[in-house]
Amino acid sequence: MAATTGKSPVSSSFVQKLNPRTSYCYQDSYSTINLPRRLRRIHSQACNNISSSSDQVPDSVHKQAKAIELQKLIDDDSRDSSISLPRPLTSASLSNLATEGSRLRVAYQGVRGAYSESAAEKAYPNCEAVPCEQFDTAFEAVERWLVDRAVLPIENSLGGSIHRNYDLLLRHRLHIVGEVKLAIRHCLLANPDANLEELKRVLSHPQALAQCENTLTKLGLVREAVDDTAGAAKFIAFHKLKDAGAVASETAARIYGLNILARDIQDDSDNITRFLMLAREPIIPGIDKPFKTSIVFSLEEGPGELFKALAVFAMRNINLTK
């Protein structure tokens, strides 16, 4: 995977053979090939209907009626096409997304209080964040028009890549339209009537547990993996567990009425997760700001094949970030 860099980059995805040029040409050909075919058919029908009554009205009336009917059909078709066809996002439209966040439904993986929910709200302020049980569900929700966008994690500065979402990017026809980075600050949570000495185990997402390994080892807590951090907080709150805690966010503690026994328990304070903003429509990159490009490709087996592929970027002075 290769990427160009720039200050405050905006991402655009290229999965398999997709790129800005083919995405743009696809949209252009869709507009100029499919729509006129329908218009030609409609035009013919309109003219035939008017011609059939030629012996009843003057010729000037025929022409005027045809012109009015034809314009009405074109206008109707334009309205239909604007509703049914997704338009590619332009770089100019991205600057308006933050202010239009209140109109967007944004999917994220997890339950309320998840870090992904905070990332979605950071990416699209005032949006309606929609929780999904699994990453797959979030992808499908966007594809089925149940939501407008999805914000999903792709890599963490300590835990590395989230390979599942790389695989899903190849399986689904969504496009990366931006990215947002979120500082992860883990807290040790417990029910109000529980104290640190009573805790024997701690629940959280596997990456969160790994990121707090030193602290949890010192406390002598048994680690139990669950689907997400906020889900762990919700579980111990719902079951009123006294011997179990959760590694989750301060927001999750507030939502589920839990006490914060310890803050910032991650082993490394520089704990950042990068989230991708996904949409059905691709971006047409502009020249007004630097763009980051993600590329997926495969190579034949053989000595130096990867070197040859990467040399293409080096020869053109294109920097790679990962």
- pLDDT, one tens digit per residue, over 4-33 is 444 333 344 433 333 333 333 323 322 323
pTM of the model: 0.67
pLDDT for 33 equals 32
Average pLDDT score, the chain: 76
- pLDDT, one tens digit per residue, over 118-175 is 999 999 998 999 999 899 999 999 999 999 999 999 998 888 888 999 999 999 999 9
- pLDDT, one tens digit per residue, over 216-269 is 999 999 999 998 899 999 999 999 999 999 999 999 999 999 999 999 999 888
Evaluate whether 91-184+272-315 and 187-262 have a shared fold. yes
pLDDT for 287 equals 80
- pLDDT, one tens digit per residue, over 36-47 is 333 333 333 333
pLDDT for 321 equals 85
The answer, yes or no, to whether residue 49 has pLDDT greater than 50, is no
pLDDT for 249 equals 95
pLDDT for 292 equals 85
d(CA 156, CA 158): 5
| Exposed e or buried b per residue across 135-152, where buried means at least 16 C-beta atoms within 10 angstroms of its C-beta | bbebbbbbeeeebbbbbb
- pLDDT, one tens digit per residue, over 64-74 is 555 555 455 54
Catalytic residue ranges: 273, 275
pLDDT for 117 equals 95
Higher local confidence (pLDDT), 3 or 113: 113
Output the six-digit token pair for 316: 């053109």
The CATH fold assigned to 187-262 is D-Maltodextrin-Binding Protein; domain 2 (3.40.190)
Q: What is the DSSP string of 146-195?
A: SSSEEEEEEEETTTEE-HHHHHHHHHS--EEEEEEEEE---EEEE-TT--
The verdict on domain 91-184+272-315 having CATH code 3.40.190.10 is yes
Task: Please state, for a pLDDT cut of 90, what percent of the chain lies above it.
Answer: 52
Sign of CA dihedral 211, 278, 294, 6: negative
Q: What is the residue extent of each domain of the chain? A: 16-83, 91-184+272-315, 187-262
